[in-house]
């Protein structure tokens, strides 16, 4: 299996321009600015052009090209209430040096948080999560009660000799344990057909609260999940929101390493995302597992762009 973690050229924001329109018609490519020294507040986009963790986990590589495809899908979206948007470029992986790439991502996330800007990380495999998390908890102002909200078909609590896309939340748990901090991890969309008994047992032993994809198919299931989520949001100091696109039905998100046979419908996933954003406590967010090589008609990229724009529009950056 080849390594696809090759450095990507800087993305050129360009797209449709409505020159004949008479009213406001800006689009993302006209709104996004390069990250500069005076950038404050708003949302800072950054790419994690890496799928070394997917390769290590035996998945299908290609997500390293995800950030560029996601930006391309974002470029011509209309601006409808987005705050200032800054692009901090991509973090790439040299060879198999995944840990170094995650450390570089952590630095960029920490810098954005310090500026009062919401880091929105575009992936990339779900090993992105360990880099984002490290950026949040770095420094003296790290939140004591961080809530981790993951929309995902998988727990990603694996035990492995080398960290990969299946281990990031296990790594977070071990970090929290070493620091004497609680591990507040909530997962929406877990599949009983994509996680072993060992992973369910580990999740239970670690106090992870999770909702199966089967329980998140209608309004009644959503209401029950939102009631529980509301309690968690009220009890935390900050929230890290991470979305793995394989939580969605395969028909809505085919361009991932492991498409879902059932999945959580997009409308329901968006409702949970909206609830997290409305809390005003989101300190960082990322979108993982976009694999353009496996996509169909750019559908998954469009779905990812919809979610990214939704997060940007609902952002209320929290300074730690």
Residue 23 lies in a domain: no
Residue 46 lies in a domain: yes
Instruction: Place 5 in a pLDDT band, splitting at 50, 70 and 90.
Output: low
DSSP reduced 3-state for 93: coil
pLDDT at 129: 98
Distance separating the N- and C-terminal Cα atoms of the chain: 41
pLDDT at 318: 59
Instruction: Place 10 in a pLDDT band, splitting at 50, 70 and 90.
Output: confident
Task: Tell me how far apart the alpha carbons of residues 299 and 292 are, in angstroms, rounded to a whole number.
Answer: 9
DSSP reduced 3-state for 270: helix
pLDDT, one tens digit per residue, over 160-200 is 999 999 999 999 999 999 999 999 999 999 999 999 999 99
Instruction: Place 317 in a pLDDT band, splitting at 50, 70 and 90.
Output: low
pLDDT at 2: 41
Residue 142 lies in a domain: yes
pLDDT at 1: 37
Global pTM value: 0.95
Domain CATH for 103? 3.40.800.10
Q: For residue 141, give the nearest of 41, 282, 238 by alpha carbon.
A: 238
Q: Is residue 131 over pLDDT 70?
A: yes
Tally of CB atoms within 10 A around 231: 9
Instruction: Place 315 in a pLDDT band, splitting at 50, 70 and 90.
Output: confident
pLDDT, one tens digit per residue, over 275-303 is 999 999 999 999 999 999 999 999 999 99
Question: Do residues 308 and 71 touch, judged by C-beta distance below 8 A?
Answer: no
Instruction: Give the helix ranges, DSSP H, for 24-81.
Output: 28-31, 52-56, 66-74
Task: Tell me how far apart the alpha carbons of residues 169 and 167 are, in angstroms, rounded to a whole number.
Answer: 6
Q: For residue 91, give the nearest of 115, 119, 124 by alpha carbon.
A: 124
**In total, how many domains does the chain have?**
1
Residue 185 lies in a domain: yes
Non-local CB neighbours of 279 within 8 Å, separated by 6+ positions? 233, 239
Question: What residue numbers bound the domain in which 50 lies?
Answer: 28-313
pLDDT at 32: 94
Mean pLDDT, the chain, integer: 94
Residue 190 lies in a domain: yes
pLDDT, mean of residues 61-82: 96
Residue 161 lies in a domain: yes
Residue 6 lies in a domain: no
Lowest mean pLDDT among 17-26, 153-162, 249-258, 280-289: 17-26
Residue 163 lies in a domain: yes
């Amino acid at each position: 299996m080849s390594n696809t973690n090759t450095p990507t050229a800087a993305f050129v924001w360009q797209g449709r321009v409505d020159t004949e329109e008479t009213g406001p018609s800006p689009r993302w490519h006209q709104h996004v600015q390069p990250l500069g020294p005076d950038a404050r507040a708003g949302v800072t986009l950054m790419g994690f052009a890496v799928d070394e963790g997917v390769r290590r986990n035996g998945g299908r590589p290609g997500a390293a090209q995800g950030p560029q495809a996601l930006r391309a899908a974002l470029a011509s979206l209309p601006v409808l209430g987005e705050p200032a948007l800054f692009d901090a470029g991509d973090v790439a992986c040299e060879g198999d040096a995944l840990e170094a790439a995650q450390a570089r991502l952590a630095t960029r996330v920490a810098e954005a948080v310090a500026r009062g800007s919401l880091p929105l990380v575009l992936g990339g495999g779900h090993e992105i999560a360990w880099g984002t998390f490290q950026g949040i908890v770095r420094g003296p102002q790290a939140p004591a009660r961080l809530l981790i909200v993951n929309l995902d078909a998988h727990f990603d609590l694996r035990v492995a000799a080398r960290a990969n896309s299946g281990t990031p939340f296990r790594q977070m748990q071990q970090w929290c344990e070493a620091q004497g901090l609680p591990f507040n991890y909530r997962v929406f969309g877990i599949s009983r057909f994509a996680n072993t008994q060992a992973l369910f047992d580990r999740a239970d032993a670690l106090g992870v609260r999770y909702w199966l994809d089967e329980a998140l198919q209608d309004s009644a299931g959503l209401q029950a999940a939102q009631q529980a989520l509301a309690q968690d949001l009220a009890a935390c100091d900050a929230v890290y929101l991470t979305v793995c696109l394989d939580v969605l039905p395969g028909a809505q998100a085919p361009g991932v390493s492991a498409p879902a046979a059932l999945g959580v419908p997009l409308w329901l996933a968006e409702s949970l995302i909206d609830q997290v954003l409305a809390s005003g406590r989101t300190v960082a967010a990322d979108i993982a597992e976009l694999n353009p090589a496996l996509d169909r008609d750019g559908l998954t990229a469009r779905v990812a762009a919809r979610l990214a724009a939704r997060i940007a529009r609902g952002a209320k950056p929290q300074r730690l």
